Structure 1
Amino acid sequence: MISVKNVLVVLAVAFTAYLAARGLSWTSPVPYPLVVVTTLALYLATTWLCIFWEPAALRAARAAAGRAPRPDADRTDAVADGIRGPVPLPVPAQILALACAIIVPSAIALSVGAASRTEPFATWYLGGIGALMTIVMVRRRPWTAWAGIVALSVASMAWMGPLTALGLGLVGSIVWVAVAQMLVRSMDRAARDTSRLTRLQRAATAWQTSQVVRQRERRVQVQKALAVAGPVLTRTVANAGALTDDDRLEARIAEGRLRDEMRGPRLLDDDVRAELERARRRGANVTVLDEGGLDDVDEDTLSVIRAQLAETLRSASSDRLYIRTSPDERVAVTVVGRSPSVGAPSDEDAVDLWREIAHPGRV
């Protein structure tokens, strides 16, 4: 697959190979040709190692990420966090690159002789080491890159003189490394900005989604309220507020049903609703409250809890019933029933029902 990274890698390999080939185009005899060839081989091996070497753990992680099916959001995170950018150069490659920057200039200068030190086949290392340090900079090792440029500058000026070294390519090498550092910083800044914008976009999307869900929930609640209270309100309006005892009972039951739907929807199913209505019709005051204790419970478990709640309500005879979810890890729902004590004041009720419905599987 053709990508920007593959194109840049091919260009880097071709350019460094071209610079090294210049070192073999001798226009005059050199005293130590074997040293020249060995130096060129060291340079190419080091340069290509710096281009291609990635830590084994990182390669395995990338391969696993490429095989695993990931949603678009995860891929967006990977790009935004800069995972696909250049990875830091391993320490052994840094050491080898710095050693190459120190050894190659002096080795070439000594092997070609004093008369040929300013010839094109002898000055190739000015661009070659500059290209190597540019690669090191792109691989996120700025201190090593600038140390290599300093070593190149000192050696080339010592062998050729400052003005000659600057005129033959040293300035270009320094500019390459500086531009590479600016590009890497710009790329990192762009990656951070992209990550920040992506997170802001996700937050905005999540907020918008939550608003849509809330609007849908409000519509559902309004529809339920109209379905429950609509007939009672219609009779109230038709009779100009003059309600019979049966109408008042239906109104109280409708009010209790609406409160149940708003305060404890996860506790309700058809059986529980029927038992709550039966308790209210016999005159009981029923309070249902879900305080979040069942938020993480699946539907199968809820069905078991609701069945036990319906059975408890079916046998209850208390005048007041309090049904609440429990924060306890073992207890799902607590049902408390109170009725007036015989011979006690009317506002002092005794507890005549206490039932704790446990979470299935946590007992």
Structure 2
Amino acid sequence: MTVRSILSAIALAFTAYLAARGLLWTEPDTVERGWLIVAALVLYLPVTWLWVFAIGTGTPEQSAEPRATRRVPNWGVALAMLAAVVVPNATFFAVTEAGRTQPFVTWVIGAIGALMTIIMIRRRPIVAWVGMAVLTLSASFWLGPLAAFSLGLVGSLVWVAAAQLVMIALDRTARDADHLAELQQAASAWQASQSGRQRERRIHVQRALQAAGPVLARTIESGGNLRPSDKAAARRAEASLRDELRGTRLLDDGVRAEIDAARRRGAVVNLFDEGGLAGLGASDLDDIRTELASVLSDAVSERLIIRTSPHHEVAVTVVGRSRGEGGSGDDDEVDLWREIRRPR
């Protein structure tokens, strides 16, 4: 059984007990209009059980909320107000003045208090307190203020106030739980991002060691007296490390191999990733890298510039430049222009 079903059963039993007290006429001589007492019972029980068991209605935004938090329709509110007015006044009117303090009459004070407590739990505090105000006025009119408070009105008021405090505490607890859940999600996301960055840093360190480790080892062994081939290898290692910093999203094993081949034949290769590939998925990046590797494998330019593009249709631009016929560095000519389209 759920907590809600247990509480509903308790509310059903308690309200049924209060109503049963109204049928135990310990002093029948004081009862002048018994049918009014029965009519009050007939009105009270269905209205109370409606608030106990009714699922209520909610807007589409409230459809995912627990049933206990959904509101009973307005006609349910009207029935509750009708019961708060009719049940006490009809019961007190049905007996003589001497019988108004008898338990089979004063049950209405606890009964309406129980109904308003249920309404408070249903998150209708204004309705509950209006009902208690009506009950207080009715009981004070028929019994007098002191007698009304001494015969159960204080207890009813305490029930309703305690129910409101409990609901406030539950709402605060729910808000705190939601806030803690949000903090936990944020912490998990931060931890995941940190783990990803740590993995990325480890990969970069491994690649740096692979590229620069042999060169550093030979430098130490030779005491800094490197051969021309070793110096060329050191320059390529430096350039590859620069590529890892400037154009990580452009690189995979195929692109790295083609860039290294271009540098070995003497070409100068520069990579610039300025965020043009942001938002692309892994498969799109793989397609772009495959096409980039193909372009680089066919390139014969002396200088290659690879740059991501902010254009909505172009992902990467590859420009190749070579010295002109005069051989002057100031007369570089563009001998390669290739735009890699952004995947749709």
1:142 alignment partner AA: P
Cα-to-partner distance string for 1:98-151 (whole Å, 9 max, x where unaligned): 221111111112223444222111111100000111111111111111100000
* Contact 1:89/1:140 (<8 A) preserved: no
2:43 and 2:334 map into 1 onto residues whose CA distance is 91
Residue 328 of structure 2 is aligned to residue 353 of structure 1: no
Q: Counterpart of 1:31 in 2: which secondary structure?
A: coil
1:268 is matched with which residue: 244, 251, 265? 251
Q: Counterpart of 2:104 in 1: which secondary structure?
A: coil
1:337 is matched with which residue: 298, 301, 320? 320
Q: Counterpart of 2:101 in 1: which secondary structure?
A: coil
2:301 and 2:60 map into 1 onto residues whose CA distance is 69
- Cα drift, residue 253 of structure 1: 1.6
- Taking structure 1 as the reference length, the TM-score comes to 0.86
Unpaired runs of 5+ in structure 2? none
1:328 and 1:84 map into 2 onto residues whose CA distance is 52
- Structure 2 partner of 1:303: 286
2:282 and 2:176 map into 1 onto residues whose CA distance is 42
- Structure 2 partner of 1:34: 35
Moved more, 169-178 or 113-122: 113-122
CA-atom RMSD, angstroms? 2.5
- Cα drift, residue 249 of structure 1: 1.4
2:100 and 2:13 map into 1 onto residues whose CA distance is 25
- Structure 1 partner of 2:128: 145
1:179 is matched with which residue: 159, 162, 170? 162
Identity of aligned residues (%): 52
1:327 and 1:36 map into 2 onto residues whose CA distance is 82
* Contact 2:57/2:73 (<8 A) preserved: no
Q: Counterpart of 2:85 in 1: which secondary structure?
A: helix
For 1:48-67, list aligned pairs within 5 A.
Answer: 48-56=49-57
Paired residue total: 342
2:290 alignment partner AA: A
For 1:1-363, list aligned pairs within 5 A.
Answer: 2-27=1-26, 28=28, 30-56=31-57, 86-343=69-326, 346-347=329-330, 349-360=332-343, 362=344
2:225 and 2:234 map into 1 onto residues whose CA distance is 13
Task: Identify if the C-alpha distance between structure 1 residues 85 and 34 changes in structure 2 by more than 3 Å, giving closer, same or farther.
Answer: closer
Q: Counterpart of 1:251 in 2: which secondary structure?
A: helix
Moved more, 317-326 or 232-241: 317-326
2:205 and 2:43 map into 1 onto residues whose CA distance is 79
- Cα drift, residue 310 of structure 1: 1.6
- Structure 2 partner of 1:73: none
* Contact 2:57/2:70 (<8 A) preserved: no
Q: Counterpart of 1:112 in 2: which secondary structure?
A: coil
Moved more, 127-136 or 333-342: 333-342
Unpaired runs of 5+ in structure 1? 66-81
1:196 alignment partner AA: H
Task: Identify if the C-alpha distance between structure 1 residues 59 and 112 changes in structure 2 by more than 3 Å, giving closer, same or farther.
Answer: farther
Q: Counterpart of 2:105 in 1: which secondary structure?
A: coil
- Work out which structure has the larger RCO, using CA pairs closer than 8 Å and 6 or more positions apart in sequence: 1
1:214 alignment partner AA: R
- Structure 2 partner of 1:68: none
* Contact 1:318/1:353 (<8 A) preserved: yes
- Cα drift, residue 49 of structure 1: 1.1
Task: Identify if the C-alpha distance between structure 1 residues 203 and 300 changes in structure 2 by more than 3 Å, giving closer, same or farther.
Answer: closer
1:22 and 1:271 map into 2 onto residues whose CA distance is 88
Q: Counterpart of 1:241 in 2: which secondary structure?
A: coil
Task: Identify if the C-alpha distance between structure 1 residues 269 and 200 changes in structure 2 by more than 3 Å, giving closer, same or farther.
Answer: closer
